[in-house]
Amino acid sequence: MYDWANSTYALVITSAIFPAYYNAMTRHNGSSRVELFGYDFENSAIYSICLGIAFGVIALLSPFLSSIADYTSKHKLFMRIFCYLGSAACASLFFFDRYELYPLALAGLMLATIGYSGSIVFYNSFLPVIATEDQQDRVSAKGYAFGYLGATTLLLFNLAAILNQEFLGITDNTLLPRIAFLTTGLWWFGFAHITFAKLPSRIYGPRKETHWLWNGYLELVKVWKTLNREKRLRTFLLSFFFYIMGVQTVMFMAASYGEKEIHLGVKELIFTVLILEYIGIAGAFLFAALSKRWGNFRALTLAVVVWIGICIGGYFIQTPLHFYLTAFSIGLVMGGIQSLSRSTFAKMMPKTENNAGYFSFYDVCEKMAMMCGLILFGYMENWTGSMRNSIIALGLWFTIGLFFLIRVQLMSSPGRIK
């Protein structure tokens, strides 16, 4: 149900409505260039860079906060704080009704992203607690599936309103998109309380050490030393860093790519996102089934190979039909590679009472990858003037990830993880 609650941020704010709305609102006097802190940027380039900075902030904070959570056993409290920050920031985008407010809109986007990403650190740490190892692939996939269903439910509600603007007698073209941002914050805030009501307040009993702040740092050192000994787990994280860099950059910038390079409107972009979401549900369960039949790593390898093909095809997209077909392919592997990566890492973790500490490393790896991917994507677009050139880099990142993933499979394979 937390996936159901917070996935509306990922769909409405970063994928469907806000990117197109932001691009439209930041076109001023026939130009898509904006000025921020004395520098001139393409509007979508600074959007990408701001997202990357937000993920960098949470990458720096999450190990510190996770270590504190493990020593105080207040995982749900930290999850709740970040949830409230993110949902309030989403709702604040309702006030972005004119060009001059784009700096505040970018600040709201960054805070919403920090809230979303920060809460996920603690949310993920509950997976080994609430599900046994043989259930984790299915439970992880079910979470992503609920996320797709919840997010598309709210998106369809907002789409129906946008398509019937004249019937509703609304003359302000900014009002209905802004209501979508407000309802996203309220949806996330409201449904998250189902999760908060059901999850245990503590994963473990609180630690007895009095200097819990210092001990939190010591715990991170222990995790790092364990990763140094766990060569196979370390290589998997290296592979994950590169391929998730490509996955998340595509997911965050696909709508902007469609709007600027293919000239799709809001309605077409929402249709594309719906393709992604509903095919993503099937894809998450498809790869859970493939992992059961072939093993986790072979299923992940297939997903990365498909992503490389998507990048090659994506560079040559010219028409809306091409874009829709690409969205269908992305949907097949989007949810699968994320849910399977999460459950694979959970299985590879050594037995420990430091789940949040280990998942903080997993999340730091993901957030640092997202920061690098989004900043590089935005820099290349700002430098070359076209998002198509940034697609070339995506294929390279996936290829490096595939190389390390194959190396993991060539290592000794103890236990059930193949």
- CB-CB contact of 118 with 65 (8 Å): yes
Cα–Cα dist 42/246, whole Å? 21
Place of tokens 């590879």: 348
Q: Which fold has domain 2-410?
A: Growth Hormone; Chain: A; (1.20.1250)
Place of tokens 């900043």: 375
DSSP 68-108: HHHHHT-HHHHHHHHHHHHHHHHHHGGG--SGGGHHHHHHH
pLDDT the model gives residue 332: 86
Cα–Cα dist 86/189, whole Å? 9
pLDDT in tens, the chain (418 residues): 999 999 999 888 987 789 888 988 998 877 778 888 777 888 888 988 999 999 899 888 877 776 677 677 788 888 999 999 999 999 999 999 998 999 999 999 999 999 998 898 788 778 878 888 788 778 877 887 788 789 889 988 998 898 888 899 999 989 999 999 999 999 999 999 999 998 887 666 555 555 555 555 666 677 778 877 888 888 998 999 999 999 988 888 887 888 788 888 777 887 887 777 778 778 878 888 888 888 888 899 999 999 999 988 888 888 888 888 888 888 888 878 887 887 888 888 877 666 666 776 787 788 889 899 899 888 888 887 777 888 888 889 999 999 999 998 887 555 445 5
Place of tokens 């996102």: 273
Taking Cα atoms as reference points, which of 305, 368, 310, 304 lies closest to residue 338? 304
pLDDT the model gives residue 416: 46
Q: CB within 8 A of 68, min separation 6: which ones?
A: 74, 78, 212, 213, 216
Amino acid at 167: F
**pTM reported for the whole predicted model:** 0.78
Cα–Cα dist 417/415, whole Å? 6
Cα–Cα dist 382/375, whole Å? 10
Amino acid at 332: L
Taking Cα atoms as reference points, which of 5, 250, 13 lies closest to residue 113? 13
Q: CB within 8 A of 73, min separation 6: which ones?
A: 202, 203, 204, 205, 206, 207
Residue 7, both tokens: 């996935």
pLDDT the model gives residue 212: 57
pLDDT the model gives residue 412: 56
Place of tokens 């940027």: 41
- CB-CB contact of 273 with 156 (8 Å): no
- CB-CB contact of 5 with 187 (8 Å): yes
List the chain domain ranges: 2-410
How do 33-36 and 39-42 pair as beta strands?
antiparallel
∠20-155-50 over CA atoms, to 5°?
Answer: 40
**DSSP tag of 164:** T
Quickly count: other Cβ atoms within 10 Å of residue 225's Cβ.
10
The helix (run of H) or strand (run of E) holding residue 36 is: strand 33-36
